[in-house]
Amino acid sequence: MTIFAIIPVKKLDNAKSRLSSLLTNSERKQFCLKMLEDILRTVKFTKGIKQTVVVSNDPEVFQLTKNLEATYLEYKKAGLNEAVSEAINWCINRGATSVLILPADIPLVTPKDLNRILTLGEKTSIVISPSKGEKGTNALLLTPPNVCPTFYGPRSFQRHLEEATKRGIRFRSFGSPRIALDIDTVKDLKDFISANAKETSACKFLYKIGIHNRLAHGR
């Protein structure tokens, strides 16, 4: 298997707006970049992944991607699924036989988690890992990369499973609390801080700006 990782990142303007009661717009941007940094480092230390492709149209994301020696692919499509499809085709043209699609806001994920997904992928065409509540899709391994279209958006986890079933494609679901925690809300942020996250760049950033004081004062 020649595996490429794909990490789509939306433009950071007004990113993570549901955290605006705790973080300024500038801080939310920095927090997103720190989470992306954590993901990129995790993928880098995961055996079996040949290349990491960050799909975005944000200049700050470009700079971070360059600094961490990943590949930056600027997308011109408006929708997330269109951008992912563009990235998948790019990977296929460069020899990818599998792609692992990850969001940029799951900073707790570890190489062990990703290695488990890759191992499962040796015996099945699709491995999917859900978000909390099994609504979203927080990891998606496709073999071959174009075996099934993506359905990111509402109910993406169920929609991916339904599409695989309809097409008769073998799949496995892999649950991991670290992969499941994507950070969108204040509660997610609290759960992240409460987890064993002190070594992540994202958590260090939150400590640096005094997140505990803000939470204690109900900001």
**Quick one: pLDDT at residue 62?**
97
- Please, what are the domains in the chain? 3-216 (3.90.550.10)
Q: Write down the pTM of the prediction.
A: 0.96
- Does the pLDDT of residue 200 top 80, yes or no? yes
- Does the pLDDT of residue 177 top 80, yes or no? yes
**Quick one: pLDDT at residue 76?**
76
Question: Is-contact 183 107, C-beta < 8 A?
Answer: yes
Averaged pLDDT, 96-120: 98
Question: Is-contact 5 53, C-beta < 8 A?
Answer: yes
Residue 197 in tokens: 């996250």
**Quick one: pLDDT at residue 196?**
80
Rounded to the nearest 10 degrees, the angle between the axes of helix 201-208 and helix 25-44 is 150
Lowest pLDDT segment from 88-92, 107-111, 147-151, 209-213: 209-213
Residue 57, burial from CB neighbour count under 10 angstroms (0-12, 13-18, 19+): middle
| Measured CA distances, 185 to 17, 23, 147 (Å) | 9, 11, 33
What CA–CA distance (Å, rounded) separates 177 from 164? 23
Query: Which tens digits make up the pLDDT trace of 44-67?
Result: 999 999 999 999 999 999 999 999
- Tally: H helices and E strands in the chain: 9, 7
Residue 119 in tokens: 């191992």
Q: Which residues of 128-137 are buried (b: 16+ CB within 10 A; e: fewer)?
A: bbbbeebebb
3-state class (DSSP) for residue 146: coil
The band of 217, judged by pLDDT with boundaries at 50, 70 and 90, is confident
